[in-house]
């Protein structure tokens, strides 16, 4: 097998707070090949967003990467200097955020911002930069891109702004796009349009995509593989169909069972008892054990996550065939 485009090895991102060290990401490892779409799924506070930010060295103090490696095309980004990271950000790895207004400057026209983004990495003339910006807008489905270039961000709707943010991410045909909940704030018809564009682009250009989200439904339709995070660790990972069809970790199974449309109408939903734990005060061993129906003494030791294929971090996994939920 060829070398993966991105290999995250035992990544640890910690936040020093007055109450103690918060291990937001605690030993996360995964691979991403060229052209592949990986869904990183988790609930609030699971560490999924911090994982994405750590890859590009975007974690703000008091957060810091305490250990592990992020190998991008063989190069470790954790030890790379700020200058090297600046050369990679936007050019080879692009990021799309949940709120496009985080990406866009409200007082500059779209043209100014896009041309600036092109010139940041490429020595081309303004006319060429402008042409590339226009083409990028056209590629994400913005009608009459020539006129829209002159517009300001507030003149776009939410869905259109997110398209502009995606167009900026595409300017340098990056090898990898990190997308952090990019469709969460959008309506379903607009979300479907964006997913359609992204799916098409990844297939056409061979761009790899890390899609960070809380929404299992979006991931199930879009991703090739999925990694489920809980309390800073990946608890289950594998090809999307295997995980959806036969979730082995009780948390993954609980998440899938909580989705209303997978339950019979009118009967109580199968929910996970309790609530997401504070990362400051995790139980010894498996973090999910206080909410888990299968936990016993063995769970006081953290189970390992085996490498490759469909893997889970659990001493008492569900059987592969005994699928409880009616699809």
Partner 1 sequence: MTRPILAVSGLSKRFERKLDVVERFARRLGASVDDSVLHAVSGVDLAVAEGEVVGLVGESGCGKSTLGRMVAGLLTPSDGSIQWRGTDLRDLPPAGRHEANLKIQMVFQDPMASLNPRLRVADIIGEAPVVHGLVPRREAAEAVAEMMRTVGLDPGYMRRYPHQFSGGQRQRIGIARALAVKPDFLVCDESVAALDVSIQAQIINLFMRLREELRLTYLFISHDLGVVQHISDRTAIMYLGRIVELAPTPELFAAPNHPYARALLDEAPRVTLEKRRFAPIRGEIPSPLNPPAGCPFHPRCPHAMPRCSQERPDLREVAPARWSACHLNDTL
Among 108, 241, 280, 300, binds partner 1 (CB under 8 A): 241
- The residue among 39, 74, 88 whose CA lies nearest residue 212 is 39
Place of tokens 């974690």: 59
Tell whether residue 245 is a contact of partner 1 (CB under 8 A). yes
Question: If you ran DSSP here, which 8-state letter would residue 185 be given?
Answer: T
**Does residue 293 touch partner 1 according to CB under 8 A?**
no
Q: Does 196 bind partner 1 (CB under 8 A)?
A: yes
Choices 25-33, 80-88, 181-189, 303-311 (CB under 8 A): range interacting with partner 1: 181-189
Least gap, CB of 323 to partner 1 (angstroms) = 11
Buried b (16+ CB within 10 A) or exposed e, 31-68: bbbebbbbbbbbbebbbbbbbbbbbbbebeeebebeeb
CB of 239 to partner 1, least distance (A): 11
Nearest to 313 by CA among 233, 194, 258, 255: 233
Q: Shortest approach of partner 1 to residue 303 CB, angstroms?
A: 21
320: left (phi over 0), alpha (psi -120 to 50) or beta: alpha
Query: What would the two tokens of residue 31 be?
Result: 């691979």
Is residue 101 within the footprint of partner 1 (CB under 8 A)?
no
Select the residue interacting with partner 1 from 276, 302, 316, 323 (CB under 8 A): 276
Q: How many residues bind partner 1 (CB under 8 A)?
A: 48
Q: Which of 73, 152, 215, 302 binds partner 1 (CB under 8 A)?
A: 215
Alpha-helix runs per DSSP H in 171-249: 188-205, 216-222, 240-245
What the block records as the tokens of 236 is 């289950």
322 binds partner 1 (CB under 8 A): no
29 binds partner 1 (CB under 8 A): no
Q: To the nearest whole angstrom, how small is the minimum distance from the Cβ of residue 23 to partner 1?
A: 20
Task: Provide the residue count of the chain.
Answer: 327
Binding site for partner 1 (CB under 8 A): 43-44, 157-160, 187-193, 195-196, 199, 214-218, 220-222, 240-241, 244-245, 254-256, 258-263, 265-266, 268-273, 275-276, 327
């Amino acid at each position: 097998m060829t070398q993966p485009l991105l290999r995250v090895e035992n990544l640890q991102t910690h936040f020093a707070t007055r109450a103690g060290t918060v291990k937001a990401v605690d030993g996360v490892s995964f691979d991403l090949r060229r052209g592949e779409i990986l869904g990183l799924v988790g609930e609030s506070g699971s560490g999924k967003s911090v994982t994405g930010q750590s890859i590009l060295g975007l974690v703000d103090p008091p957060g810091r990467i305490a250990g592990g490696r992020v190998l991008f095309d063989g190069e470790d980004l954790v030890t790379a200097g700020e200058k090297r990271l600046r050369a990679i950000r936007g050019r080879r790895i692009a990021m799309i955020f949940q709120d496009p207004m985080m990406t866009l400057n409200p007082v500059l026209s779209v043209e100014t911002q896009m041309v600036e983004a092109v010139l940041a990495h490429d020595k081309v003339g303004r006319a060429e930069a402008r042409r590339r910006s226009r083409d990028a807008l056209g590629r994400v489905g913005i009608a009459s891109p020539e006129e829209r270039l002159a517009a300001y961000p507030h003149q776009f709707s939410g869905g259109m702004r997110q398209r502009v943010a995606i167009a900026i991410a595409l300017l340098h045909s990056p090898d990898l796009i990190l997308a952090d909940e990019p469709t969460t704030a959008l309506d379903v018809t607009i979300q479907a349009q964006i997913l359609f564009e992204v799916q098409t682009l990844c297939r056409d250009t061979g761009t790899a995509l890390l899609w960070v989200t809380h929404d299992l439904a979006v991931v199930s339709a879009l991703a090739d593989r999925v990694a489920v995070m809980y309390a800073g660790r990946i608890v289950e990972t594998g090809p999307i169909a295997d995980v959806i069809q036969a979730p082995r970790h009780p948390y993954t199974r609980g998440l899938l069972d909580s989705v209303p449309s997978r339950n019979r109408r009118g009967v109580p939903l199968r929910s996970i008892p309790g609530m997401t734990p504070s990362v400051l005060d995790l139980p010894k061993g498996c973090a999910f054990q206080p909410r888990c129906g299968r936990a016993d003494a063995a769970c006081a030791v953290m189970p390992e996550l085996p490498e490759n294929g469909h893997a889970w971090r659990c001493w008492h996994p569900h059987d592969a065939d005994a699928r409880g939920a009616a699809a």
